[in-house]
Every structure is written in C-alpha cells, then in structure tokens.
Amino acid sequence: MQVIKKVGAALAVAMLSGCGGKTMMVSDMSGMVAASPASPWLTVQGAGQTVVTLTGLDTKTKVQVAPDLDAVVQAQVRSALQPKYFTDLIINCRSLEVGVAAKTDDDAAITNANLDLSVSCRIVARGLVVSKGYRVRQSSPIDPAAPHFDTLLPALIRGASNQLADQLWTDVVATGVKR
C-alpha cells in the first residue's frame, strides 16, 4: 500500500510539472534599488507589480521581480536625476504600468521584446507645476526559442527608466526655473 501511495505521488508530481514546467522565472533587481541614493523628493507608485509577462511568443514567459517594479523604476529614475536635483523640486509619479510584448519585424525577421512603461507625473519646481502622462518604450532583440527574459528584463527597465528620467528633466527645465 505504501508503494502505491509513493507511485501515485510521483505520478501527480510528474503530471503537474508536465503541465507547464518552469512557468515562473525570478529576477532579483535588489541591486538596482540598493545602488540608488535615498531621497524623498521623488516617488513612483503603481500597483506594486511583481510579475511581468512576456507575451507574443508561442508560450507566455513570466518573471517574478523582487523588489516590485515601483521600487526599481523609482530607484533608477532617482539615480539618473539626483545629480540635477535642486531645492524645492518634487516629482510624484503614480499609476505606473509596465507591459512587455515580443514582436517580429516582418522586414528584418528579427524578434524584439518591447517594454512599454506609462506613468502620470506631477512636477513641482519652486512652485511651478507640470502634470502630464509619460510613455516610453525600450526594445531589445531576442531569440524566440530562448528569450532569457529574466536577464533581459532588468536591462529593459533600466533603459526605460532612463528615458523617463530624460523626459521628466526636459519638463523640469521647461518650467524656466534656474538651478
């Protein structure tokens, strides 16, 4: 009877693992957050997204992100803008959304992973206010057979965060406030 139970348990494990194998990868981005200086003048808030799904391939690839994307994007934007900071500058961003889709370029037969990041931000620069939505896209070629999304995702987020930081700074400068 014990043997039948063990065989039954082994079959159940085999069947469940065959239903999708490794469906969730893990990407530790704590180093991207730890390297950022702490400062209360910049916040990025979203839904606390911790799982990113790469769509557009034959199978969906999911990556568990630690810490959440809000913290990672905030840290990357803060690192990019910290050297430009001046007193009485406050940047609050909310409704952060991140999506990633693979798309094959018909002309070149290259598959790209496109990370789309959108967020609404309010900039207060010495009393002058700018409120607007931002959208950035970061792309990188991938091999559809082996996308290595867990290592690609941090690079895409870093690039998108730097693009966002550039757009934010352009709007800070557009207020006319002198540093």
Q: What is the pLDDT of residues 66-80, one digit of tens each?
A: 889 999 999 999 999
Q: In the prediction, which pLDDT does 24 show?
A: 74
Beta bridge partners of 173: none
Q: What is the pLDDT of residue 35?
A: 62
Q: Which pTM value belongs to this model?
A: 0.81
Of 163, 56, 59, the residue nearest 114 (C-alpha): 56
What's the confidence (pLDDT) of residue 23? 63
The burial class, CB within 10 Å (0-12 / 13-18 / 19+), for 62 is middle
**What is residue 5's predicted lDDT score, i.e. its pLDDT?**
37
Q: Could you say which residues of the chain have pLDDT below 70?
A: 1-23, 28, 32, 35-37, 108
Closest CA to 32 of 89, 97, 78, 90: 78
Which long-range contacts (C-beta less than 8 Å, at least 24 apart) are formed by 126-135?
126/87, 126/88, 126/89, 126/175, 126/177, 127/88, 128/175, 128/176, 128/177, 130/171, 130/172, 130/174, 130/175, 132/171, 134/93, 134/164, 134/167, 134/168
pLDDT at 175: 92
CATH class belonging to 23-174:
alpha beta
**pLDDT recorded at residue 10:** 37
Domain boundaries, the chain: 23-174
For residue 1, what pLDDT is reported? 45
Q: Are 70 and 33 in contact (CB under 8 A)?
A: no
